[in-house]
A and B are shown apart, each in its own frame.
Chain A
Amino acid sequence: MKTRAAARLGVPLALAGIVVVAGVFIPGFMSRANLTTILLHVSINGILALGSIFVIITAGIDLSVGSVVGLAGVLAAAALTSGAVLRLVGPTGAAMVAALVGLGTGALVGLVNGSIVARLGVAPFIVTLAMMTAARGAARLVTGGVPIGFPDPGDPLYGQKIAALDALHAVGGGRIPVPGLPTGFPVPALVMLVLVALGGFVLTRTRFGRHVYAVGGNEEASRLSGVSVGWVKLGVYAIAGASAGLAAVLLVGQLRSGGPDAGMLYELNAIAAAVIGGTSLFGGIGTAWGALTGALLIGVLNNGLDLLGVQSFWQEIAKGVIILLAVLFDVWMKRMDARRWRDRAAGESAGAA
């Protein structure tokens, strides 16, 4: 099954272990405020990881999500602070338009990736590598290399633009008041949790989700079973693109600006979270829950090491080690699985003979 015991339990157990150890030894780690901060920091990567697992489960890969965060972010920021948009729909309307532009840009780029992979049969690694470069270039071209956002004090629309940035900030940097939590609950973290639940539902309860696993598990058998392999691929790249677009909108809201270099290397963090969460790069295996736990594991680790005052360079090394351990664990589980099947099959054939 796609939810092997390893994927179901290994990472959550490791996560729980790290949380307990950090809680005991690091003062302040277990405070509600800190746990909320972790969730906020994890949310962008969590959303990207969730989008990425759809692609990875079909045995594909999307290297373009980081660049799409950049491109969708600058286009959303441009829409948000555009005079024409502001005059037409006002600051709140502009925030909605910006969100749609960001999401739409991401989905569109994903559709392009998906069509090239599905219709032309080019390797996903190549297609999305090309898109990663092209989208980053487009983001820099649109902005001339500088972030879009905070207006000039002399701008005639200064007040309007500030209001629009604030409107989007209510989403990207907003907090929902929760009793007992003085800082409130961050909106992006809520978005991530809702999306993980939704993603899990789509993967396990819908036809589309079933087909995602089937295509990743055995593309030819799926095709012979009448699965529209091309549409499934188109769908997963569109989902990965759209989640990058959404992450971009949250990021622009949070920072009150869209920079052309935003999202650099985010694709690798997302893939790392997916892999740590038990997603197999060979396809057919992975869960939304796994993507979340993978992202959380990275986040908790970063946060704990931060609180301990460990240099960020060491944190990177730690993350590398964790990725390797997660994959080794996966390989080891697979070997155990194979041994168990073989023993069982041998027993059965001996019984039949």
Chain B
Amino acid sequence: MPDSSASGTPLLAVAGITKRFPGVVALDAVDFAVHAGRVHALVGENGAGKSTLLRIVAGADRPDAGALAVDGRPVSFTAPRDALRLGLTVIYQELSLVPALGAGANIFLGMEPTRHGLLDLGTEAARAADVLRTLGADFDPATPARDLSVAEQQLVEIARALARDTRLIALDEPTAALSHLETERLFTQIGELTKRGIGVVFVSHRLEEVRRIADEITVLRDGRRVFTGPAAAVDDITLIRHMVGRDIEYARVPPAVAAPGPPFLEARGLTRRRAFTDVSLVLRRGEIVGLAGLVGAGRTDVARCIAGADLLDEGSMLLSGAPYRPVSPREAIGRRVVYLPEDRKTQGLVLGLSVRENVTLPTLARFARWGVVRGARERTAAARQVAAVELRPPDIEREAGTLSGGNQQKLVLAKWLLADADVLLFDEPTRGVDIATKTELHRVIRSLADAGKAVLVISSELPEILALADRIVVMREGRVSGELTAAEATAERVLALALPASHTAA
């Protein structure tokens, strides 16, 4: 990096930004600054607040408190248009190109060159070719966006920003879907951007990459800024500690019985192409197994396959000694295996239905005779479940979509508790809920295991896995990389198994 000093007025300065969503504080008085021609990396676990911060910089969300300044002058955005006008560009993970339009047309979308009121296709093509060439692109600007690779599409987005004379580009997890070679090329392009004096925000959880290109690093955790400093002055272990938050520890909830039973669900050599390979694991009644790993390690895919939501390509499972290979969630539920998805809004609940209707959705047959629902029985059961998970408010006729995040998660739990399953697969059960609710949910999960259920918990939050799991299975890049008992497990050991091999040496 040419100049290591970060002095002078920052290009973008964010001070004391707070953003609340129902049930959770996404950002809590966060400060953050980017200087022209420098790369500032933003790292942290999922749910740490990185994306929210980017959305605020982009003018897509408005902060509840705090201030933004560009070149030291205070600014406020009412729409993404305002941020763009000041030269702030955010490139999200979900790229926003029009698939059927060519790369060139995408670059100039909304500011098409015209002559006599008509599109000036010649100028557009020439300028698109120009800007793409400066970025080292080797594809035809007329290629429709849908025919470009993810890396090429990213490049088109960057080119679009350059064509708008952008001053800052924020990239949200740009390398998540890139190959090694494509990542290298992206880094070269980022180098080109900084040479032109453009400030870059680079969001990633891959420390190796952050280390290579960042001048400064900021770590966010649970919506708070926990570290900012020059990249050269901090080592990986310190960063990891900041990310996973060794200082937050949930009280460990110990099992009631010391020894769990014999294997209840045994999975051998499970493989689903492009998701995970040769995964074997065992769940026992009375035991909580934690499934740890980075995002994209294949944990959710494994749980979905066990629950019949996706189909396995290879492998076999035994459930209570009998062969088990569900082809639909319905079949899995029939075998008393249930999956509690991470995304409550899109997979867990029907937001337009009432609390009652959501609670009884998987078990409605029990409250029906000849297909007719017996209202009194249904209401009694729903009310009992709602009380059991302490849903607030305990109103069974309220629309599920009006509940806060934590209460929606409780509702998902209430629904599946009613199903009285033997095997419960929790996917990020406490994502986006406040600490108090987290602790409550931990207690409920433990009581399920104590009641003889076999429980699997997927969590990206290490302290949660450490507090909850009796045994921890760690996945890395689609494979099981190791298994630890609660007694052996420490944050460092789990991370060492979860991170790609190159990190452990550092």
**Chain A contact residues, CB within 8 Å of chain B:** 1-2, 205-208, 210-211, 213-214, 217-218, 220-228, 284-285, 341, 344-346, 348-350, 352-353
Number of interface residues of B (CB under 8 A): 41
- With A205-B373, A206-B371, A221-B347: A345-B22 Cβ-Cβ less than 8 Å: yes
Contact in complex: A207, B373 (CB < 8 Å): yes
Query: Which of A224, A226, A341, A348 lies in contact with B347, CB distance below 8 A?
Result: A224
- Complex-state Cα separation, A220 to B25, whole angstroms: 28
Query: Which of A217, A220, A285, A348 lies in contact with B404, CB distance below 8 A?
Result: A348
B 332-379 contacts with A by CB, 8 A: 333-334, 339, 341, 346-354, 357, 361-362, 364-365, 368, 371-373, 375
- Complex-state Cα separation, A208 to B361, whole angstroms: 11
Residue of chain A at shortest CB distance from B403:
A345
A sample of 24 inter-chain contacts (CB < 8 A) reads: A1-B352, A1-B354, A2-B352, A2-B353, A206-B368, A207-B371, A207-B372, A210-B357, A210-B364, A211-B364, A213-B353, A218-B347, A220-B346, A224-B307, A224-B329, A224-B339, A225-B333, A226-B361, A226-B362, A284-B352, A341-B401, A349-B22, A349-B25, A352-B404
Residue of chain A at shortest CB distance from B22:
A345
Residue numbers in B under 8 Å from A217 (CB-CB):
350-353
Q: Tell me if B24 is interfacial: C-beta within 8 Å of chain A.
A: yes
- Complex-state Cα separation, A284 to B352, whole angstroms: 7
Contact in complex: B349, A218 (CB < 8 Å): yes
- Complex-state Cα separation, A211 to B353, whole angstroms: 11
Contact in complex: B349, A210 (CB < 8 Å): no
Residue numbers in A under 8 Å from B357 (CB-CB):
210, 213-214
Residue of chain A at shortest CB distance from B332:
A226
Residue numbers in A under 8 Å from B24 (CB-CB):
349
Overall SS of chain B's interface: mixed
B 72-111 contacts with A by CB, 8 A: none
Residue numbers in A under 8 Å from B21 (CB-CB):
349
Closest Cβ of chain A to B390, distance in Å, is 14
Q: Tell me if B434 is interfacial: C-beta within 8 Å of chain A.
A: yes
Overall SS of chain A's interface: helix
- Complex-state Cα separation, A179 to B361, whole angstroms: 47
Contact in complex: A227, B401 (CB < 8 Å): no
**Chain B contact residues, CB within 8 Å of chain A:** 20-25, 307, 309, 328-330, 333-334, 339, 341, 346-354, 357, 361-362, 364-365, 368, 371-373, 375, 397, 399, 401-402, 404, 415, 434
- Complex-state Cα separation, A223 to B361, whole angstroms: 10
Contact in complex: A353, B20 (CB < 8 Å): yes
Residue of chain A at shortest CB distance from B404:
A348
Residue numbers in A under 8 Å from B20 (CB-CB):
346, 349-350, 353
Contact in complex: B354, A226 (CB < 8 Å): no
- Complex-state Cα separation, A94 to B346, whole angstroms: 52
Closest Cβ of chain A to B294, distance in Å, is 24
Closest Cβ of chain A to B411, distance in Å, is 11
Residue of chain A at shortest CB distance from B334:
A226
Contact in complex: A228, B350 (CB < 8 Å): no
Closest Cβ of chain A to B267, distance in Å, is 19
- Complex-state Cα separation, A44 to B125, whole angstroms: 57
- Complex-state Cα separation, A223 to B329, whole angstroms: 7
Residue numbers in B under 8 Å from A285 (CB-CB):
352
- With A224-B329, A341-B401: A214-B353 Cβ-Cβ less than 8 Å: yes
Known: A221-B349, A345-B404. 11 other contacts (CB 8 A): A2-B352, A2-B353, A206-B372, A217-B350, A221-B341, A223-B309, A284-B352, A285-B352, A341-B401, A349-B21, A349-B22
- Complex-state Cα separation, A128 to B352, whole angstroms: 27
Residue numbers in B under 8 Å from A214 (CB-CB):
350, 353, 357, 361
Residue numbers in A under 8 Å from B352 (CB-CB):
1-2, 213, 217-218, 284-285
